[in-house]
Amino acid sequence: MNDLVAKTNDATVITLQGELDVNNVEDLKTVIESELSDGTGKILIDLNKVTYMDSAALGVLVAGLKRARLSNAQFKLANVKGNVENIFKLTRLTKFFEIYNSVDSAMESF
Amino acid sequence: MSKNFKNDEELTVRVVSDEEIHMSMLAVGKLIKPIREQLYEFASGRGFSDDQIYEIQLAVNEALANIIKHGYKGEKRGEIELSAETNRFGDLEIAIQDFAEKVDLAKLVSRDLEDVQDSGLGVYLINNLMDEVEYDLSREKGTRLILKKKLKQE
């Protein structure tokens, strides 16, 4: 998994790609925790290029959101679609996260 | 049951017939992706839709992750046997056998989705993705998880 962390004045965008599962989920956890520890107040996870996600990866996003809330940071998702959308719907986590159809619309919401 | 895996044989795949494949793997997370790929090959060639295959892949993914984490508790020499077989109606049956401590069915609860946690969704997903889920504890050692998916004619 190659993470791409792009920081602008407005927010940190973490662009994920490929298949996220229990095997590479520690990388994702490290990236998110690192951004939250840096005091980033606005985090956007772009899932546009993610083709598959299991519950371990989903768990890391849930943990990220919970931790962000504790530090009054905003934690949003963009481009939840296809198989990725399926697992969010199956677990009813669509209502737990703020989800946007594009990075642009998510950025405007911060 | 021991297979004495060599280092370069963490995963072996044996095609038994047109209707059946067997896989043997060590209990390591990096092998879950190749297992998903093998299941795609097998199920797509037997009439299952991409949506159904996704559900099968995710259920098996979750079952293997649970065995690796809770059954073998990270012990990488643990062995897992997986077979996938279609019957005369085209329905798929997957059996996943581990040789770890038997699953305690009393503790195997599906998550309450209203209580949002960052772990423990695996059993819920398996139960909701497959048509039938059965735990066979009758063998001397380990747990045999049987997952069934009906072939949907579209």
Q: How far apart are CA A76 and CA B79, in angstroms?
A: 39
User: Beta strand pairing status for B92-98 and B132-136?
Assistant: unpaired
Give the model confidence (pLDDT) of B36-79 as tens digits: 999 999 999 999 999 999 999 999 999 999 999 999 998 888 99
Q: What's the N-to-C CA distance of chain A in angstroms? A: 27
Tokens (6 digits) for B127: 């139960």
Domains in chain A with CATH codes: 4-105 (3.30.750.24)
Mean pLDDT of A3-12: 77
Quick one: CA torsion of B3, B4, B6, B9, rounded to 10 degrees? 10
CB atoms A54 and B54 under 8 Å: no
Tokens (6 digits) for B82: 């997986």
pLDDT surpassing 50 at residue A20: yes
Give contacts of B32 with chain A, Cβ < 8 Å: 21-23, 54
The H-or-E segment that residue B148 falls in is strand B144-149
Instruction: With beta carbons less than 8 A apart as the criterion, state whether A44 and A67 touch.
Output: no
Q: Which of A22, A60, A92 minimises the CB distance to B65?
A: A22
CB atoms A22 and B68 under 8 Å: yes
Pick the residue from chain A with its C-alpha nearest to B59: A54
Instruction: With beta carbons less than 8 A apart as the criterion, state whether A83 and A48 touch.
Output: no
User: Best mutation site among B112, B121, B125, B129 for testing chain A: the one with the most A CBs within 10 Å?
Assistant: B121
Give the model confidence (pLDDT) of B116-138 as tens digits: 676 678 999 999 999 999 999 99
Q: Is residue B140 exposed (0-12), middle (13-18) or buried (19+ Cβ within 10 Å)?
A: exposed
Tokens (6 digits) for A73: 């940071």
Domain B15-149: give its CATH architecture: 2-Layer Sandwich (3.30)
ipTM score assigned to the predicted complex: 0.89
